[in-house]
Every structure is written in C-alpha cells, then in structure tokens.
Amino acid sequence: MLLRDFIARSITENDDFEAANLNYWAHWLGPDSRPQTSDDLMAEQEHPAWDASSLLRQFAVRLDRTGEYTDLYVH
C-alpha cells in the first residue's frame, strides 16, 4: 500500500509533483526521447517536450490490473 499512500499524499492536488510524475513517465515510456544525463527533466514545468496523446497511448498499452504500477498509471 506504499504506492497508494504516495499517490494520496504526494501527488494528489499538487501540480509540481504531478508534472514531475508525468515528465518521468514520458521519459521512461518513450514520448520524451531526448537523451537525459540526470533527473532534472522531472522539474520541467512549462511546455513539456513530449506529446500528451502519445503518453496516454503508452499508459493504455501498458495498463494491466495485475501490474504493481496500475494505480499510478490511472492517477
């Protein structure tokens, strides 16, 4: 239940954390294909380098109710 606690306490209704989470997933799932040498990409707030529709498609493709990250994907 640690993931659900993290979602409830850290991400929900916090635009900075939500943007960082989306930037993270855009990098790891592929919509942001820029080479990265640090995790500074997570702090980018304005004009993301990735397309939201592409990220949504990647989430949908990977959605699996048995997966450990399903709650985070859905959020």
Q: 26-67, pLDDT tens digit by residue?
A: 888 888 888 888 878 777 777 777 888 999 898 888 777 676
pLDDT of residue 53: 92
Whether 1 has a pLDDT exceeding 80, the answer reads: no
Whether 75 has a pLDDT exceeding 70, the answer reads: no
Residues near 54 by Cβ (< 8 Å), separated by ≥ 6? 30, 31
Pairwise CA distance, residues 2 & 53, whole Å = 29
pLDDT of residue 62: 79
DSSP letter (8 states) at residue 7: I
Yes or no: say if 48 and 26 are a contact pair by the CB < 8 Å rule: yes
Yes or no: say if 44 and 23 are a contact pair by the CB < 8 Å rule: yes
Mean pLDDT of 9-17: 76
